Amino acid sequence: MRSERSYVAGLYLRLDAERARVRGEYESALRGTGGTPRERDDQVRALAKEGKRLAVADDGLCFGRLDTISGEHSYVGRIGLFDEENEYEPVLLDWRAPAARPFYVATGANPENMRRRRQFHTRGRQVLDFTDEAFGRPGGDERGDAALLAAVNAPRGEGMRDIVATIQAEQDEIIRLDHPGVLVIEGGPGTGKTVVALHRVAYLLYTHRERMERHGVLVVGPNPAFLNHIGRVLPSLGESDVVFMTTGDLVPGLRVTAEDTGEAARLKGSLKILDVLTAAIADRQRLPEQPVPITLGGVTVRIDAETAEWAREEARASGLPHNEARAVFAEIVTYVVTERAIGRIGRGWLTRDDREAWEQLRADLLKELADDDAFTAALDDLWPVLTPEALLASLYISPERLRAAGADPALWRADGEAWTVPDVPLLDELVDLLGRDKAADKAAEAEAERERTAEAEYAAGVMDIMKLDREELDEDVQLVAENLLYAEDLADRFVERDTRELVERAAADRDWTYRHVVVDEAQELSEMDWRVLMRRCPGRSFTVVGDLAQRRSVAGATSWAEMLEPYVPGRWVYRPLSVNYRTPAEIMTVAAALLAEFAPEVRPPDSVRACGVLPWARRVTEDELPGAIEEFVREEDGREGTSVVIGPPGVPGTVPASETKGLEYDAVLVVAPERILAEGPRGAADLYVALTRATQRLGVLHQDPLPHSLSGLAEIGTPAAT
């Protein structure tokens, strides 16, 4: 024990020295004057990132040791450390390194040339104890589970913890899987599929860092609470170039404020909605009911239906998005009205043979048209510039427009801009169908250029100040000057560099593409959701996490192949997880009975442990219900760990099951399971989710008789009786 404590203490000394070195280089880089501004900024960012990597390693820096048959040994930990004086020999293996893999997969039957695995039990920087597992001994066919059971039995905190010290062989195989396409990880409640996916991201960033970190990784989850729950895992593993979003966040700047009916969500999630969007755009490409008069060069000409139809056909045939095709439409209409005006103005004196005069007159008329409000209004009426939000909102509030687009009347709503999550993929699709507004883009570019010019002028002013005699500068200005890099670089910094971190830049940019995307609770995603995500990752590198048995969305997946084959035919693989690390056997028995009723073809995961506490049920009246909930909350407040009360919509003091997906609590109280089941076709899946959130204790309060699937619960008089 003494030698192990000494070795780990030495690792911490190396860690502290490395931190000090990086911190010193970082501060030096901030003051540095060598190289270009871009080179110095890149160096500062790289050092800042390395500082973050080292900062997370205090807790559990080293958690184990491997001894080979030949007598060599190596230590495994959260990050890698090296002996610079001994040809950079590793003194601590990063858990993702190939040499560390036996720590997770070696067994008595397949020892991977290992003689022993040692796992440290630590608190802070101190080694308290260790557990040894010798390979090759009689009965030593499986890995010892003392560390695993200690981890899964520990009280839950406010967020998901990494499992870097207790990754199991089944999980490690998935984490290290070398597959360039889509990996589907499916597992029942508590199988660790989410945390495995996050560790896979850390592994991919470790093994393909140069390729992946320039564009980052996107993690998509079902709701903000879930993302907050998992948000600490990757930073704890030293990885920060990861963007966390819900599907409702995929269009930057959009605010979701409403919720769709099940039928509207189903319609919006289907690929058939693409025909509706296309038709809605075509409906806005109009022909005039009456010829539109335009005064030009002192004469009046008209935009008639024949002219507009020709222009519309040419614009549509161009294959350009709607807003960009407007230029084609406008060009045809402009040509016709100017030709007609020239013919009338030049009647009797101008012929086409006089090309110079003809073209001069055309140029004059074009200038006149450019400032003609009536002509611009006519173009706006016949081929308007559209934004995704304006088009979709005007479609939803108009039964006539819905009918013209061939849409189901169920899509109608009174407030067109009350955006819902299923609206997001439609709005994203419309960005491509409508295209850019070139005029608005040019105006924005001009404004940006004015800002850059102003910033450069400011920088030039600072440079002039710095050239003054230092005695003429007051103390504050001298302080500013001393903290600037080369004055000549200042303007370049203003003009050239976007100093935001990758995560901030990616989240704000709808056109940003990622090297890898993780999709959690993927069974809830619709066909249209998948189109959005595939656009975000042209390389089609995904880790997809889900459980079809837990699907509640009417637009969600009923088959992985059905969702993925259109995008990655033959490029996706499936890996199941079968061991439940969260839910104790006593609770899983209750949940499995429910699962057998609504998804008999699905086998529930096998719980790795029992907790010794039986789940209970208690029947209450409507008047007794609030007091029973308060009693549960009060009792759990006096215990270590976390708790939640889950119930159907409208029950005070409860949260819906949909908001707890992917989360875990030490204690769970499920209220009115009979009403959750009655909520709709996916009510059984919601109840299954609710029952499987608990890691230790489960209680059920019901007013009506218990559903048959929960008849195995022990009825009690009060929750305290447990």
Q: Which residues line the annotated binding site for ATP?
A: 187-194
User: Rounded to whole angstroms, how far apart are CA atoms 67 and 74?
Assistant: 7
Q: β-strand 62-68 against 114-123: which pairing, if any?
A: antiparallel
Which among 114, 117, 66, 70 has a CA at the least distance from the CA of 90? 66
User: How far apart are alpha carbons 237 and 52 in whole angstroms?
Assistant: 10
Residues 6+ apart with CB under 8 A from 21: none
Helix (H) or strand (E) holding 132: strand 126-134
Which residue intervals of 467-486 are DSSP H helices? 475-483
> Residues near 72 by Cβ (< 8 Å), separated by ≥ 6?
none
508 token code pair: 């704000």
Query: Exposed, middle or buried by CB within 10 Å (0-12, 13-18, 19+), for 474?
Result: exposed
Q: CA–CA separation, 722 vs 716, rounded Å?
A: 8
Output Rg (C-alpha) for the chain, integer angstroms. 33
Decide if 394 contacts 404 (C-beta within 8 A).
Answer: no
The Cα–Cα gap between 119 and 618 comes to 43
Say how many C-beta atoms besides its own lie within 10 A of residue 686's C-beta: 23
Structure tokens belonging to residue 83: 């002996």
Residue 98 CB neighbours (<10 A): 9
Q: Taking CA 398 as the corner, what is the angle to CA 397 and CA 403, rounded to the nearest 5 degrees?
A: 130
Q: What is the C-alpha separation between 713 and 586, in angstroms, rounded?
A: 10
Q: How far apart are CA 195 and CA 581, in angstroms?
A: 12
**Counting runs of H as helices and runs of E as strands, what totals does the chain give?**
28, 21
> Which regions of 240-387 does DSSP assign to beta strands (E)?
242-246, 292-296, 299-303
| Residue whose token pair is 């029952």 | 691
Residue 316 has which token pair? Answer: 């549509």
Cα 30 from chain centroid (whole Å): 32
Residue numbers in the known binding site are 187-194
